[in-house]
Structure 1
Amino acid sequence: MPVRSAWLINRTETETGQSRADTRLAPVGTMTPNGALTTAGGVLPGSTGGEYLMSGLYVFGESAGMNATVAPGRAVIQGQGPAGAYPVALTDYTEVTFGDGDASNPRIDLVVLRVYDTQFDGTGRTEAVLEVVVGKAEATPEPPLLPDASLPLARVLVPAGASVGTGGIAWADAVYDMRVSTVAVGGILADSWNRDTPGGYPGQYRDTSSTLQRWDGTRWTSYPRQAGGIAPQGALAAGEYTGQYRDEAGRLQRWDGTVWRPAVPSSAWAYNNDGGYCATTAWVEAVADTNGPTITATFTAPVTGAILVTVGFVGNTGVDGQWCRMGANIRKGATLVLAANEERAATVGSKALTSVASTFRVTGLQPGAEYSAVSAYCSSATSNRGWFDNRFIRVDPLV
């Protein structure tokens, strides 16, 4: 069998062990640690022309029957306990044969690349081989246990009654590829299959074909794409680090660790041109005799937590010498953050129709939180109807 392994006892070309050719062919030095004295086993990635992630040791069937073929390739196999890891190479396309299927139930067999080293396993053998590990035939079969010092290459479903005479194994659907890749320490693991293979050490990286990921000691976490730049539209549903930016339909957004927020909040604006009056001396959020709703401008607080609020209207008083005012209550949800008062109000003090506005600054808001500025009105006396028309609120972020 054309299976060669390094780090076995010396041999000649006709005896078991290790030859100089074995050492040249075997992937010596391809070792990724996953313990103080253990190595992550796997197949070396690569293919002719670089088209495929990994072509080595691929298991496939080309014609009906009970024989599969294993493609040439190189691998590393972790031995038993203190035995260490064995670099192994398969130099030719090699057939493996499956036993006939059970008469009643299917089974699952494993194709493995295995190392025997009698110094550690006492088998009396010193060689690397391809083997079929036969599973148990059951109505719902499970794969057999993996032997020590072996690397699984494929899982094969052997149907009940399968044999050469009955057409054998349906290779197109029967083979499940179990290969995982391995690279030298510090290299980026090629893992387009996205297996749940744990990393060997915090700081190890793998490439999943679409994302670069880092092992943090517990799980694989995606390395930020477009780090320091702006992610294009549709690239990120969730941010990968706090402070990341993305383009969302022409609007720049920033990831705050939980949700995307506008990077530069826009101005908020609310307006109503249906007039009404107020004749209460306490602040109220609606005027009477109007079809227009209470004016509410909803906004997101900028990173500074500071905004400019402008309120204005066209109006007049019902009684000479009296006044009427429009201000704004600032709310976060149902909580009143800042109440309207006379110092932050637009005031009319004449029966003549007058256009007025007032701008005031609000600070101390929670950056990224949503607030609302709600119109509020009052009059100098209950006998004075203050009229309000063309009412508006504008909120501008201070950045």
Structure 2
Amino acid sequence: MTVRYGWLSPDGQTRADTRHTALGATTPAGPLQSRLGILPGTDDGQFRIGGLGMAGTTGTMTAVVHPGRAVVQGPGTRGAYPVALDEDVTVSFAPGDAQYGRVDLVVLRVYDDEADGSGRSEAAVETVQGTPAAVPAAPASPGLALPLFQVAVPAGTSAGTGGIPWATAITDLRTTLVSVGGILPVYNNATVEGSYRGQYQDNEGEGTLQRWSGTAWVPYPKALGGIAPAGVLTTGGYPGQYRDTAAGQLQRWNGSSWQPAVPGPVFTQSLDAGSTTSTTYTATLAGTAVTSLTLNFTAPPSGSVIIGIGARVYTAGSETVTAHLSPQVTLGSTVIWAPDDERAASGSGAVSKSVSTQLRLNSLTPGATYTVTAMHRSTSASVTCWFDTIHLRVDPIS
């Protein structure tokens, strides 16, 4: 026998049938349903899946499907059918349409006369012919069948014209399944939803072990309690997890995003002088390419930072007018700290001088990203105040 099946034949299940089809592989898809798929593994252990592979025969319209074991799930509460192919089987494809190409399916199909009235109680490897079209699509798979491959059959193809171009014609549709509690090696089924919280799959494409949370596949940390190497995790597995980055920065997962583990200090500066006559605080200066000087920082766990601000200032032609430089701190569009003369680095006089100040800001939300902006003003609308070598610095307080 080539295609063996368990608990199906009305003529009795042989001992060989039982040996081949005692799969123990039912990845749940519901209380009474299993995923359909192929048992993983190859003879040399080099690949995820080898069972029920297919190779076309050059110059022909035939292909060979190789041995393997699978589970085909019945509709509703009918149950799962274990199937094993224990020797090569040849499948044939009809010649191509004269005008259009088509796409055929190769399937592992189960017939169950007791349920479908087909008059057959067996499993078989079959082709399902598609419909020729200008943009051909694969046909629907029969109800009780496991799709294995798509085969593109170009227009006018036949054995007499060189057969199907096998190197480009085959699309692998096989999917994997394992026993309940086993780790599923993903193969064409990375986006299939999990069946229960705590289910695991190995996603080779992302290089991660993943756990089903009930709503999504979450990467399971490779270094639980340790630091994940650079390039391993895109999403953290738990708040407080750490990872290295390609830039050599240590980051911490806060539950929704990666944040610098040591947030700061951060610094920015502008060496391009600009001026203002505004008597109210403004971020914009005239005569400079730097329209405003801003700096983003992440609030540390303490919620407190030191903000440093400074510049070289002078008041053109006046010894009494004062130039004020003060920080404005925002969280999104919300102003946390408005600029104020009490929090300003201030100077006056026609000769430029360096001024600076440092201020402590408390009660920030740890992990949130804030923006500090350098704000400027003159105490007289008729006197131009100049600001040069402006700098901003934020240091976290532990």
Alignment TM-score > 0.5, same fold: yes
Partner of 1:363: 362
Deviation at 1:69, TM superposition (A): 0.3
Code of the aligned partner of 2:362: T
Deviation at 1:261, TM superposition (A): 3.5
CA distance in 2, matches of 1:336, 1:276: 26
CA distance in 2, matches of 1:113, 1:311: 72
CA distance in 2, matches of 1:278, 1:206: 61
Over 3 Å counting, the alpha-carbon distance change for 1:41 and 1:27 in structure 2 is farther
Matches within 5 A, 1:250-261: 250-256=248-254, 260-261=258-259
Over 3 Å counting, the alpha-carbon distance change for 1:6 and 1:340 in structure 2 is same
Deviation at 1:312, TM superposition (A): 7.2
Deviation at 1:155, TM superposition (A): 1.5
SS in structure 2 at match of 1:119: helix
> For residues 84-122 of structure 1, what are the alpha-carbon distances to aligned partners after superposition, in whole Å with 9 as ceiling and x for unaligned?
111111111111222333343333222221222222222
Over 3 Å counting, the alpha-carbon distance change for 1:101 and 1:363 in structure 2 is same
> Normalized against structure 1, the TM-score is what?
0.76
> For residues 294-313 of structure 1, what are the alpha-carbon distances to aligned partners after superposition, in whole Å with 9 as ceiling and x for unaligned?
99673514222212345679
Partner of 2:174: 179
Pick which of 53-62 and 261-270 moved more. 261-270
Partner of 2:30: 35
State how many pairs are aligned.
389
Code of the aligned partner of 2:226: G
> For residues 144-186 of structure 1, what are the alpha-carbon distances to aligned partners after superposition, in whole Å with 9 as ceiling and x for unaligned?
2322322111122233333322322222122211111111011
Over 3 Å counting, the alpha-carbon distance change for 1:129 and 1:397 in structure 2 is same
CA distance in 2, matches of 1:81, 1:272: 69
Deviation at 1:220, TM superposition (A): 3.8
2:199 to 204, 213, 217: 204
Are the equivalent residues in 2 in contact too, given 1:312–1:391 (CA < 8 A)? yes
Pick which of 124-133 and 328-337 moved more. 328-337
Are the equivalent residues in 1 in contact too, given 2:4–2:17 (CA < 8 A)? yes
Code of the aligned partner of 2:157: A
CA distance in 2, matches of 1:66, 1:314: 82
2:6 is the alignment partner of 1:6? yes
Q: Which of the pair has more CA radius of gyration? A: 1
Code of the aligned partner of 1:120: A
CA distance in 2, matches of 1:170, 1:80: 35
Code of the aligned partner of 1:5: Y
Pick which of 357-366 and 16-25 moved more. 357-366
Matches within 5 A, 1:13-28: 16-28=11-23
Partner of 1:145: 140
Are the equivalent residues in 1 in contact too, given 2:37–2:71 (CA < 8 A)? yes
SS in structure 2 at match of 1:24: helix
Code of the aligned partner of 1:266: G
Code of the aligned partner of 2:145: S
2:123 is the alignment partner of 1:131? no
Are the equivalent residues in 1 in contact too, given 2:9–2:122 (CA < 8 A)? no
Are the equivalent residues in 1 in contact too, given 2:329–2:372 (CA < 8 A)? yes
Over 3 Å counting, the alpha-carbon distance change for 1:144 and 1:120 in structure 2 is same
CA distance in 1, matches of 2:125, 2:390: 84
Partner of 1:91: 86
Matches within 5 A, 1:54-203: 54-194=49-189, 196-203=191-198
CA distance in 1, matches of 2:273, 2:44: 76
CA distance in 1, matches of 2:77, 2:266: 69
SS in structure 1 at match of 2:30: coil
Over 3 Å counting, the alpha-carbon distance change for 1:223 and 1:247 in structure 2 is same
CA distance in 1, matches of 2:134, 2:323: 83
Code of the aligned partner of 1:363: N
Give the unaligned 5+ runs of structure 1: 11-15
SS in structure 2 at match of 1:49: coil
Are the equivalent residues in 2 in contact too, given 1:242–1:255 (CA < 8 A)? yes
Code of the aligned partner of 2:113: T
Partner of 1:396: 395
Deviation at 1:232, TM superposition (A): 3.6
CA distance in 2, matches of 1:157, 1:91: 27
Considering only aligned residues, what root-mean-square deviation do their CA atoms show, in Å? Answer: 4.5
CA distance in 2, matches of 1:140, 1:84: 36
- Paired-residue identity, %: 42
> For residues 3-27 of structure 1, what are the alpha-carbon distances to aligned partners after superposition, in whole Å with 9 as ceiling and x for unaligned?
11111246xxxxx542011111114
Are the equivalent residues in 2 in contact too, given 1:329–1:336 (CA < 8 A)? no
Matches within 5 A, 1:315-354: 328-332=326-330, 335=335, 337-342=337-342
CA distance in 1, matches of 2:135, 2:152: 11
Are the equivalent residues in 1 in contact too, given 2:40–2:48 (CA < 8 A)? yes
Over 3 Å counting, the alpha-carbon distance change for 1:314 and 1:60 in structure 2 is closer
Give the unaligned 5+ runs of structure 2: none
> For residues 53-112 of structure 1, what are the alpha-carbon distances to aligned partners after superposition, in whole Å with 9 as ceiling and x for unaligned?
111101111322122101111111113444311111111111122233334333322222
Over 3 Å counting, the alpha-carbon distance change for 1:101 and 1:266 in structure 2 is closer
Are the equivalent residues in 1 in contact too, given 2:313–2:323 (CA < 8 A)? no
Partner of 1:52: 47
Code of the aligned partner of 2:178: V
Code of the aligned partner of 1:126: S
SS in structure 2 at match of 1:83: coil
> For residues 251-293 of structure 1, what are the alpha-carbon distances to aligned partners after superposition, in whole Å with 9 as ceiling and x for unaligned?
333344565433223234577999999999x88689x9x99x9
